[in-house]
Structure 1
């Protein structure tokens, strides 16, 4: 324990011992050496709101959710073999406006098929309660006592009255070691026009969740950008070093 506390810090040592024990006992998918596994669980918070059904500037091409599905199918099989992943979705269900945040499942090994199946089955609809989605993911990770990571994938701002920056302060103050990463996927200004198309990519209000918890805010405009962002934020030190990082807004 003393060695683990020195190398990983007291907050992470128990999680590391759990991972190593799982490898030894054969209850975790083999991934090579134990050092190639992430020691912290992660939750994906996925935006399934109505705006994810929208297409590009010229209203041709494919909906945003189709591109997001493609990115998840690409990257998750690699990530899920080294990290326990869970899923929160907001959008479908409920009253089709804001009471639509759902924990699909908590962190588990080899979660890629289950995550992609859940996202593939989504019919984007409803508002964007991203604050409640992140809060639910944090509670699932038992963030007050356990380290962990959340990756929020969203194409818009909070539309359901939540206050992401207030939540960010709470997570930073009360969390054992929780990091929230935010991927802004094709986030657009509500005042888009063809004249200011070049300036239409904006920063989501959710950026403060990343800033206050030591995470990253990454802007993604293409499937390739989104794949890179997922690798950087979900892949610990392993896959995060293997790709060119997408544009990080300063």
Structure 2
């Protein structure tokens, strides 16, 4: 009886041991399987982390290409950037997530759209070319706009952004240094009898909230309206450094007061607004720009966005449109100097008019042909730069950071080729079109371009 009880007890103990062992093994198995299921979910999330979803899709036709905003790194060539600027580009790429082999087509397309958004170049639209032609045709009876007819006096005021972001570097020099160089080059080229003034804004205080009021109230004429004088102008440029916020509204308002005495009936008045960002202070710069256009000053306004992001480009373009002016986005000193050259050309024509030796309309047509060539070359340079940067970015993500798969690397390569083909095709289309309208009057050209490329 005791033996039988012992056997039963032993059997129960063994059964209990096996049951516990199996349960532990199953629990252990579940624990190892659980992370696997979890990691698959995380992989899906991983492919979307840090990717912006509220950005435009890659352009698929000429209209979309023209209207697509220039990217954060537009105008840069990664391969020849100074080391500190190259690190900043790589920092942008480091924020991209790892892409896994099971990434969906939607995830891959979002990845490509984000990459293009960083490096898309800002391609000049035909409307900008037309406005340049208008500047080129200054003084021609073909232009009915009274602002573009010869007047007895020529006055130019430059409004220069001196906010802290102008300390940012392009090619080893700060944006402020590049702007000062271009402004000096332009101002020194003005003919005898032409006047120039320089007003800076956002040059006091700092970018801190504590200094915002001080900075937003800072706008000052450092060189009053008069003929260019080298030593005085250089001294004026040395009076300020970039430091604070960006009171564009204030600067435009005060420029209107500066030029109030120069009636547009007797004066050709030109205003340049140079900024590397949006208005960060109070007021509505678009409304002030509209009041400038409606004033008796009748200025020709050129707004230059200097290395500006998409949001800044939109606001500055609206300012230009409200003033019936011209907007240009530039990313380096060469682009900045080219924009000032338009006013330089007006000054030269004005000087020749004063001397009764203005060239005829045939010369204007030849000049337009050269501008079409410059337009084509600009698109070509930007296309090559964009393609090279996208290659460098893909190589960095694949070879250096191991963030994308070989399949994804090839996908980005195919997308890059598609974009290059679109740019080539659009370049040929727009150049051919501009050549076809060169013989038209300005009014006919304006109407034709607005209808074809929807640029109102």
- Tell me whether the two structures share a fold, i.e. TM-score over 0.5: yes
C-alpha distance in structure 1 between counterparts of 2:328 and 2:234, whole Å: 21
Residues 8 and 204 (structure 1), Cα distance of their counterparts in 2 relative to 1, 3 Å cut: closer
8 Å CA contact retained: 1:50, 1:127: yes
What displacement does 1:75 show? 2.5
Residue 160 of structure 1 corresponds to 281
What displacement does 1:53 show? 0.7
8 Å CA contact retained: 2:249, 2:284: yes
C-alpha distance in structure 1 between counterparts of 2:279 and 2:220, whole Å: 16
What displacement does 1:77 show? 0.9
The SS at the match of 2:232 is helix
C-alpha distance in structure 1 between counterparts of 2:290 and 2:257, whole Å: 15
Residue 187 of structure 2 corresponds to 76
C-alpha distance in structure 2 between counterparts of 1:11 and 1:121, whole Å: 33
After TM superposition, the structure 1 = structure 2 runs for residues 53-202 of structure 1, keeping only pairs within 5 Å, are 53-56=167-170, 61-79=172-190, 81=192, 83-93=194-204, 96-142=214-260, 145-146=263-264, 147=267, 148-189=269-310
The SS at the match of 2:304 is strand
What displacement does 1:122 show? 2.0
C-alpha distance in structure 2 between counterparts of 1:166 and 1:141, whole Å: 18
Q: Structure 1 unaligned runs (5+)?
A: 1-5, 17-38, 191-201
The SS at the match of 1:89 is strand
The SS at the match of 2:299 is strand
Q: Structure 2 unaligned runs (5+)?
A: 1-140, 206-210, 351-363, 380-454
What displacement does 1:117 show? 2.9
What displacement does 1:83 show? 2.0
C-alpha distance in structure 2 between counterparts of 1:184 and 1:231, whole Å: 16
Residue 228 of structure 1 corresponds to 338
The SS at the match of 2:274 is strand
The SS at the match of 1:183 is strand
8 Å CA contact retained: 1:84, 1:110: yes
Return the index of the structure with the highest Cα Rg.
2
| RMSD (CA atoms) | 3.6
> What are the superposed Cα offsets for residues 109-164 of structure 1, whole Å, 9 maximum, x if unpaired?
12454334322342211110112111211211117843422111111110001211
8 Å CA contact retained: 1:156, 1:204: no
What displacement does 1:82 show? 5.5
> What are the superposed Cα offsets for residues 44-96 of structure 1, whole Å, 9 maximum, x if unpaired?
1011111101224xxx7221111112222333211264620111111223654
After TM superposition, the structure 1 = structure 2 runs for residues 43-58 of structure 1, keeping only pairs within 5 Å, are 43-56=157-170
The SS at the match of 1:46 is strand
What displacement does 1:11 show? 8.3
8 Å CA contact retained: 2:249, 2:283: yes
The SS at the match of 2:216 is coil
Residue 382 of structure 2 corresponds to none
Which structure's residues are more often helix, by fraction? 2
What displacement does 1:204 show? 4.9
Residues 9 and 209 (structure 1), Cα distance of their counterparts in 2 relative to 1, 3 Å cut: closer
Which structure's residues are more often strand, by fraction? 1
The SS at the match of 2:279 is coil
What displacement does 1:99 show? 1.2
Q: How many residues align?
A: 208
C-alpha distance in structure 2 between counterparts of 1:48 and 1:102, whole Å: 11
C-alpha distance in structure 2 between counterparts of 1:153 and 1:105, whole Å: 16
